[in-house]
Amino acid sequence: MAILLLGAQGQLGWELGASLSALGKVLHFGRKEADLSRLDELRKLVLTIKPRVIINAAAHTKVDQAEDEPELAGLINAEAPAMLASLAKELDAWLVHYSTDYVFDGTKDGVYTEDDATAPLNVYGQSKLDGDKAIMASGCRHLIFRTSWVFGHHGRNFPRTILELARQEDHFSIVADQFGSPTGVELISSVTALALNQAQRSDQNLSGLYNLVASGYVNWQEYAIYVVRRAIDLGWSLLADPDKIIPRSTEESGRKAVRPANSRLSTEKLTRVFGLTPPPWQYYVDRVLWAWTREYVAANPNPPKILGLKFIPPMNGAMSRS
């Protein structure tokens, strides 16, 4: 089975390449080989390969920048997925696509379900929502996973940014009035492979939209404090004192694009349909920090900045099956 993976060089694409290999031959394409802003070239690629599964892990994810280039964001996040859905329908292939918590306005008191009304606050969120709607209206077999606060081993992400800041500053402030679930790409890729395998083999139509986040939630300031504390536990030498990471408001952050205050997503549907229960968000943060630590030590036999390493015992399984 040929699996076309778009966005293979992104932090999610790196993990998907490994997770999907058990299901078939994965054909990896990064932005240079498959640019979602060039629809004609993308169409030719898909029709040449004729994959049984299309995995779209590519997107315009620069939220503030999207405010200045709404046409490009719409092209990549809405028009390209719409075309991929049309091609998937034509080829009788599955399309797997990734959505975002930013389709909501964040005013709900509790967790958001897949059936809650959407109301994006920014261009990025609207473009992603338009893509979701186009896929669902296409009639193709699809899995759309709506996730939030994504991070991973590769690429730019919040934990990496916080550690770089913590090396340079002894105190700093982080937004504390936005809440969500930090979600590791390792979790997303594992669920993708398991759910896709079930969907292909099931007699039922399991196409649909599913929330996919780690369990539990936190605000950005608490998240930063956790990252710094765990790094210190691992032996990282940082200037920052976790107790001196102070809260600030969204308004004080001065970001161009408005963010939802509440990005908490319910994964009840994912558990009910696929029997998968995501672990706490801290688990994958710990795994990423431990991996970075091992890489640093391997590259520096006598590391000047990391001493007294401690082992992080793994949990019994990345996910539990209900």
Catalytic residue, candidates 98, 102, 112, 124: 124
What is the C-alpha to C-alpha distance for residues 294 and 306, in angstroms, rounded to an integer? 10
Q: Strands of 94-100's sheet, edge to edge? A: 25-29, 2-6, 53-56, 94-100, 141-147, 208-211
Rg of the chain's alpha carbons, rounded to an integer? 20
Residue with tokens 């780690």: 214
Catalytic residue flag (residue 124): yes
What is the C-alpha to C-alpha distance for residues 222 and 244, in angstroms, rounded to an integer? 12
- Number of Cβ within 10 Å of residue 164's Cβ equals 11
Residues 6+ apart with CB under 8 A from 101: 112, 146, 147, 148, 149, 180, 213, 260, 263, 265
What is the C-alpha to C-alpha distance for residues 234 and 73, in angstroms, rounded to an integer? 39
Provide the annotated active-site residues: 124
